[in-house]
Structures are given as C-alpha cells and as structure tokens.
Structure 1
Amino acid sequence: MLAADGIRVNAVAPGTVRTDIHAAAGDPRRATRVASRIPFGRPGEPEEISPAIGWLLSAEAAYVSGAVVRVAGGL
C-alpha cells in the first residue's frame, strides 16, 4: 500500500481554464466559446485552480489521500 509508505495520491480536476493550451490546440477562443456550458458562466483562471493544488501539497492536507478535488465552476 502506498499510504503505509507515507505516499498520498490525490488529484485536481480543473474544468475549462483560460490558458494557452487552447491556442496550442488550434482553438484560441475555446474557453470563451464554451463558457455558456459552465454553471458559473465563465472559464476559470489559473489563479483559481492553483490554491487547490497548494492545499493538497500543504500540511493541512496531510491526512487526505484518494481525493479528487473538482475546481470546475460548478460542473
């Protein structure tokens, strides 16, 4: 088991985030185009995703393992 070795396994599942990945994939306006499908009505910003990652890496989450934290604007 990983936990017995002090290894925690967690994930952050972001929704549509305004980054350069869309332009690199050939659709630079994708994040804005799909915003109507997101309950919050807009794509996320990288600054809204990174705190979840930071928390999972922090001592505050030392007892968290097997979690998937969705940061997806209500999806």
Structure 2
Amino acid sequence: MLNIETDKFILRKFSMQDMYDLHILLSDKSVNTFLPWFTHNSIKETGEFYENRIRGQQYCFAICQKENNSPI
C-alpha cells in the first residue's frame, strides 16, 4: 500500500506501532461521542478492537501528522 502525503499529513494503514496513539484516541469520551462504539478503558480493549475492526481492513486508514507520523 502506497502512503498518500501532503505538506502536513500522511494517509496510511494502521500498524501495531500505533496502538498507544490509537488507545489515546479511543479512550477519549469526546472523540467517541458520535462513533458507533464505546470509549475504551484499557490498552487490551484497544488491541482487541484493532484485531477485530482495523487490521486487514481494506478501507481503514490512519491520518497522521507528518512531523511525527502519529494518528490524529
């Protein structure tokens, strides 16, 4: 999969290295207000979410800041 890049952002597939950043996003109640899942309470829950809903999905991408390649 080829990454798509702009001056400030990168669109790429999620990876296991994103687990901490993904957990920060998924454990934030305000981020999850309008999403069809519940706020995560543990990194284990985020890992299960990654395995069941993100990993291997054709159209599931991380939008990352180019300066640190971290999902936002």
Q: Normalising to structure 1: TM-score of the pair? A: 0.29
Greater gyration radius: 1
> Which has more helix, going by share of residues?
1
Structure with more of its chain in strand, by fraction: 2
